[in-house]
Amino acid sequence: MRLPPTLPATVLACLAVLMPLSPARADPAEAVDRADAAGLAAALRARILAAPSATAVLEAWCAERGLAPEPRLVAQRLPAPEKPPSAEQRRRLGVGPDEPVRYRRVRLACGAHVLSEADNWYVPSRLTPEMNRALDETDAPFGRVVRPLAPVRRNIGLRLLEHAARPGRDTPLFAVDAVLASAAGQPVCEVAETYLGAVLGPGAL
């Protein structure tokens, strides 16, 4: 699903509620559990779509759901082959064919819970040397690293991922594509995020 560049938070919240995961046939007890899980997923979607930082939303969510004693997000680097940006991604980032764009694939974890997986294409020349070093050498999430830029998030895609049974910890729930730009409006990265069942918390799985 393609999203317009900006939507009021109230509209995004309604959109998330009106597009729940498609229910599967199940016994009544499982149907109730699935409804609870779908409601939580819809609430998280609305917050992600309306916020300037997915990192901040996930850390607040982790605290509210009691997922870890210290609700601090960690980016676990995943070994992955280089994935060059497409011509369309370069257009959205506002860079030419020869401008370096780095690729970073991570799992975002809170305590023992892996909440999402993300592919990130970012323009190193638009970040400070300290930011680039942190992305290369630490487990800090991108959103925390670039927080001094006061980034603005523009959602460009939403996909609801259907599943046949009650979600497990590793079940993909929904995916969001977005472009982050500095407060001055200069794009700094494009991200493709897939949110997993563990984000709902043990009581909903």
Token pair of 13, please?
Answer: 């919240």
Token pair of 167, please?
Answer: 């979600």
pLDDT of residue 80: 82
pLDDT of residue 34: 66
pLDDT of residue 166: 75
Q: Give pLDDT tens digits for 119-177.
A: 999 999 999 999 999 999 999 999 999 999 999 999 999 999 876 567 889 999 999 99
Ramachandran class of 44: left when φ > 0, alpha when ψ lies in -120 to 50, beta otherwise = alpha
Q: How far apart are CA 52 and CA 144, in angstroms?
A: 12
Pairing of strands 113-122, 73-77: unpaired
Q: How far apart are CA 146 and CA 182, in angstroms?
A: 9
Q: In sequence order, what E strands does 65-136 have?
A: 73-77, 102-110, 113-122
Note whether 113 and 189 are within 8 A (CB). no
Domains by residue range for the chain, with CATH: 9-204 (3.40.1410.10)
Per-residue pLDDT of the chain (205 residues; tens, 9 = 90+): 555 544 454 444 444 433 433 334 433 334 436 668 889 999 999 999 999 999 999 999 999 999 999 889 999 999 888 899 999 999 999 999 999 999 999 999 999 999 999 999 999 999 999 999 999 999 999 999 999 999 999 999 999 987 656 788 999 999 999 999 999 999 999 999 999 999 998 755 5
